[in-house]
Amino acid sequence: MISAFAPDGIPEVEAGTDLVALVAGAVGDLEDGDVVVVSSKIVSKAEGRQVHADDREEAISAETVRVVATRRQPGGAVTRIVENRLGIVGAAAGVDASNVAEGTVLLLPEDPDASARRLRAALAERTGRRIGVVVTDTLGRPWRHGQTDVAIGAAGVAVVDDLRGTPDAAGRRMDVTVVAVADELAAMADLVKGKTANRPVAVIRGLGRLVTEEDGPGARSLVRVGPEDMFRRGADEAYADGYRDGYAEGSRESTGWHGDRESEGGQ
């Protein structure tokens, strides 16, 4: 049987908070094979990732590596879908202005996989249990309304279940199916954590087959960027790029043609 629960009563987290003690005290007795799922917000707060920012847009720009798409909303606000320093593509580079002091914003953990590894090691030492840890954040999805939690950090848990080369129920070979189980764990945990219930930690029980002896490759291995990214630009941005490149090419051809005419006239 698979189950998930999220404890109440977790206090406000500040820079320097002992996250291990807080999580261990909240979840109680852990069992071998448990997966502890932690919202990135409390990881960021504990790691001191809250920074002064009079303008959230400037903070977003500072965390942005590449702009994928922009859209102006009713009222004039602009939504930016960008790739951030972690390679994650999402709205606002993961910069969060909710539940933080006025004039500050919260950045994602500097290295969520490293955060997950530290938390896993400390919890395992404290409890003597074989556990996995997943650090999550909320993202939208292309071509889908709404948001869901995904894994941005992971340790001691398989991040994918690679079914390529295995037969399906009808005996046919599967060639492309790689299940993003770390993201599925993140989404399952979010069902019990909730977005407004102040329950930033959950435990998933009954999926010990996904818990590994080693830290593993981490959630960073799930990121698809560079040559693997099939949708590097939004539709408007791709159109603008095509128009600009086409205009430049047309101008070069036009210049070359006039040059030929001038050369012919001078002969």
- Please give the angle made by the CA atoms of 31, 33 and 35, to the nearest 5 degrees: 95
Q: pLDDT tens for residues 184-216?
A: 999 999 999 977 778 999 999 999 999 999 999
Q: Is residue 169 part of a domain?
A: yes
148 shares a domain with 36: yes
Q: Is residue 50 part of a domain?
A: no
CA atoms within 13 A on the CB side of 66: 14
247 shares a domain with 188: no
Domain count of the chain? Answer: 2
Percent of the chain with pLDDT over 70: 94
pTM surpassing 0.75? yes
Domain with residue 149: its CATH number is 3.30.1330.100
209 shares a domain with 263: no
Q: pLDDT tens for residues 105-161?
A: 999 999 999 999 999 999 999 999 999 999 999 999 888 999 999 999 999 999 999
The helix/strand/coil state of 195 is coil
- pLDDT score, position 256: 62
123 shares a domain with 209: yes
Residue 4 dihedral angles phi and psi, to the nearest 5°: -145, 140
36 shares a domain with 127: yes
194 shares a domain with 162: yes
150 shares a domain with 254: no
- pLDDT score, position 208: 96
Q: Is residue 63 part of a domain?
A: no
Domain range for residue 259? 235-267
51-60, 65-74, 152-161: which has the highest mean pLDDT?
A: 152-161
261 shares a domain with 205: no
Q: Is residue 174 part of a domain?
A: yes
Q: Is residue 149 part of a domain?
A: yes
136 shares a domain with 33: yes
145 shares a domain with 31: yes
| Closest by Cα among 218, 105, 200, 107 to 159 | 218
Q: Provide the β-strand partners of residue 144.
A: 141
Q: Is residue 206 part of a domain?
A: yes
Contact 204, 2 (CB under 8 A): yes
197 shares a domain with 246: no
249 shares a domain with 188: no
pLDDT confidence bin for 267, thresholds 50/70/90: very low
Distances in whole angstroms, Cα of residue 185 to Cα of each of 27, 40, 112, 152, 245 = 17, 14, 16, 12, 43
Q: Is residue 152 part of a domain?
A: yes
Q: Is residue 106 part of a domain?
A: no
